[in-house]
Chain A
């Protein structure tokens, strides 16, 4: 017989995304490093606090300086988190490929300014047609606005808030990567499920009096609160 006296702890895992830079050194490496130094002099701090992935696809033959390349980069304040296409480089052996996948975010201009800002990222997504049953809209970087209805069996997942200018009949998930101040707005509330920052409310728990109305849904003290739009937030809480 054995009894566990410790209360069970809840492990909460959240996602967070960063934009990693991929840089591809080219032979001859000493000339490339000199060029990099020049670039860093013109825009210091560009790689500061940025995860960097080294792409060694261009280094096909054993190249002079290859075994010290990673140290050379670290010395310049570039924090390398992974190496791609490493076979020909001896120094890269301990840097096995650890990350998988990743979506290309296009070319980034290093620029010559004091502290070149990263290009402005798209932080909202506007969809000007109905979201049909079975379709899933996923946008982690920010808010999603739907001009139309979200059908039963469809889902919208946003890192930020969800705005539906139509009937919300499917699922809406706001603050999908951990943002408790995200909200859900819809013109007609007939949702199957709403969720903010991991807390959710299923259709069964929703206040029938609010069905069909224009509502705002937010998180207050770990409870989902649904209130009619323009009612100063006096709404129904779940859990009660």
Chain B
């Protein structure tokens, strides 16, 4: 049975789109049929991060308004043919999303794919609530800092009250994905500790993604980090997160950069 996953956070800039792309690609690398859906109407980015921006013809709003068929709007990834993208419209705004239109698109996607990853816009307004409404699973992307944690807490409250599952009286499955984690700064006490974040949000931890240049580089070249640098620490962390998402029991560790003795000495001095 298809699973609808919303990647959400409340706060902007914490890594929702990057994580959607990386998790989507990692799921596809495991042989699953995956579609990543951009819900950020008006500020679409997922197409860039996936490297599909030059192939966008139709988007989700066209499908909702009946101007295009779903199959025309879906863009198949060039690297993995079981990975697709449903882009958002850049020229419209979130009011163009209708509850019934989104319901129809999600229902149609459920027939075609194993995993439907919805990249939520920031905020708690229409776009974000529609992105989460049909979800079976929520991945709450959080940075280890107070404002991000509080916004995530707000989003968890909405997940428990505003989604279709909550309205039916069921519980939505929620996971915490801690991104932009910097072990050096955490050791210095400049960042919230992992256990503090978990204590405040009290939802299970899906993974810890270390802060890395690889993530930035991957976004810039339009490739999910699990494809562009599969052995880098962030890619390994995303791959492990996907294993947990698929039900594997795996200890969560903080992946570290493997550095040689020389660079470690110099690294210390610079820091």
Contacts and interface: CB of A to CB of B under 8 A. Distances in A.
Interface of A: 129-130, 132-135, 148-149, 151-154, 167, 169
A133 B150 contact: yes
Interface of A, secondary structure class, is: loop
Residue with the greatest number of chain A CB neighbours at <10 A, chosen from B146, B153, B200:
B153
Interface residues of B, number: 13
A135 B200 contact: no
A132 B157 contact: yes
Nearest to B171: A129
Nearest 8 Cβ contacts at the A-B interface: A132-B157, A133-B153, A133-B154, A134-B154, A151-B153, A135-B157, A132-B153, A133-B150
Contacts of B124: 134
A149 to B, nearest CB: 7
Interface of B, secondary structure class, is: helix
Contacts of A149: 200, 202
Contacts of B182: none
Given A149-B200, A149-B202, A151-B200, A133 B160 contact: no
B202 A148 contact: yes
16 contacts: A129-B160, A130-B202, A132-B160, A133-B151, A134-B158, A135-B157, A149-B200, A149-B202, A151-B150, A151-B153, A151-B200, A152-B146, A152-B153, A153-B154, A154-B157, A167-B200
Contacts of A134: 124, 153-154, 157-158
Interface in B187-218: 199-200, 202
A159 B191 CA distance: 38
A206 to B, nearest CB: 18
Contacts of A167: 199-200
Given A132-B156, A153-B154, A167-B199, 14 more contacts: A129-B160, A132-B153, A132-B154, A133-B150, A133-B154, A134-B154, A134-B157, A135-B157, A149-B200, A151-B150, A151-B153, A151-B200, A154-B157, A167-B200
A138 to B, nearest CB: 15
Interface in B240-259: none
A159 B229 CA distance: 58
Contacts of A129: 160
B147 to A, nearest CB: 10
A129 to B, nearest CB: 8
Nearest to A169: B200
Contacts of A148: 202
B249 to A, nearest CB: 25
Contacts of B199: 167
Contacts of A135: 157
A145 B160 CA distance: 19
Contacts of A169: 200
Nearest to A188: B199
Nearest to A166: B202
A6 B202 CA distance: 55
A113 B160 CA distance: 45
A42 B15 CA distance: 70
B17 to A, nearest CB: 23
Nearest to A132: B157
A123 to B, nearest CB: 25
A130 B151 CA distance: 15
A26 B268 CA distance: 87
B102 to A, nearest CB: 23
Interface in B147-167: 150-151, 153-154, 156-158, 160
A129 B200 CA distance: 12
Interface string B123-152: 010000000000000000000001000110
Contacts of A151: 150, 153, 200
Contacts of B202: 130, 148-149
A166 to B, nearest CB: 9
B150 A153 contact: yes
